[in-house]
Amino acid sequence: MKRLLLSVWLLSLTLLSAVAENYPYKSDVLWVTVPNHADWLYKTGEKATVEVQLYKYGIPRDNVTVTYEIGGDMMPVADTKGSVTLKNGRGVIPVGTMKEPGFRDCRLKATVDGKTYSHHIKVGFSPEKLRPYTTMPSDFKEFWEKAKAEQKEFPLTYTKEHVEKYSTDKIDCYLVKLQLNKRGQCVYGYLFYPKKEGKFPVVLCPPGAGIKTIKEPLRHKYYAEQGCIRFEFEIHGLNPEMTDEEFKEISNAFNGRENGYLTNGLDSRDNYYMKRVYLACVRGIDFLTSLPEWDGKNVIAQGGSQGGALALIAAGLDERVTVCVANHPALSDMAGYKAGRAGGYPHFFRNSVDMDTPEKIKTMAYYDVVNFAKLIKADTYITWGFNDDVCPPTTSYIVYNVLNCPKEALITPINEHWTSNDTEYGHLLWIKKHLK
The CATH number of the domain holding residue 100 is 2.60.40.1930
Residues 108 and 206 in one domain: no
- Cα 392 → chain centroid: 9
Count how many domains the chain has. 2
388, 396, 427, 434: the catalytic one is: 388
Q: Give the pLDDT confidence of 128-184 residue by residue, as tens digits.
A: 999 999 999 999 999 999 999 999 999 999 999 999 999 999 999 999 999 999 999
- Angle (CA) 179 182 184, round 5°: 55
359 burial type by CB count under 10 A (0-12 exposed, 13-18 middle, 19+ buried) = exposed
Please check whether residue 399 is in contact with residue 371, taking contact to mean a CB–CB distance below 8 angstroms: no
Q: How confident is the model at residue 25 (pLDDT cuts 50, 70, 90)?
A: low
Q: Is the pLDDT of residue 16 over 50?
A: no
Q: Give the pLDDT confidence of 170-181 residue by residue, as tens digits.
A: 999 999 999 999
Overall average pLDDT of the 247-261 stretch? 87
Question: Does residue 388 or residue 4 have the better pLDDT?
Answer: 388
Please check whether residue 386 is in contact with residue 123, taking contact to mean a CB–CB distance below 8 angstroms: yes
Residues 144 and 123 in one domain: no
Would you call 28 a catalytic residue per the annotation?
A: no
pTM over the 0.85 mark: yes
Residues 234 and 371 in one domain: yes
- Cα 97 → chain centroid: 27
400 burial type by CB count under 10 A (0-12 exposed, 13-18 middle, 19+ buried) = buried
Q: How many CA atoms lie within 13 A of 86 on its CB side?
A: 26
| Sequence-ordered list of residues with C-beta below 8 angstroms from that of 352, at least 6 positions apart, any chain | 257, 258, 260, 263, 346
| DSSP E strand boundaries for 114-266 | 115-125, 158-162, 171-179, 186-194, 200-205, 229-233
Residues 61 and 199 in one domain: no
305, 318, 333, 427: the catalytic one is: 305
Residues 77 and 200 in one domain: no
Q: How confident is the model at residue 3 (pLDDT cuts 50, 70, 90)?
A: very low
Instruction: Determine what percent of the chain is predicted with pLDDT higher than 90.
Output: 88
Would you call 305 a catalytic residue per the annotation?
A: yes
What was the pLDDT predicted at 103?
A: 98
Residues 289 and 407 in one domain: yes
Residues 305 and 329 in one domain: yes
Residue 414, domain extent:
139-433
- Cα 47 → chain centroid: 29
Please check whether residue 287 is in contact with residue 231, taking contact to mean a CB–CB distance below 8 angstroms: yes
What was the pLDDT predicted at 24?
A: 56
Residues 269 and 179 in one domain: yes
Would you call 417 a catalytic residue per the annotation?
A: yes
What was the pLDDT predicted at 215?
A: 85
Q: Give me the CATH number covering residue 189.
A: 3.40.50.1820
Q: In the listed set 87, 107, 127, which residue is the last one of a domain according to the structure?
A: 127
Q: Please tell me the distance from the alpha carbon of residue 179 to that of residue 400, in angstroms, as a whole number.
A: 33
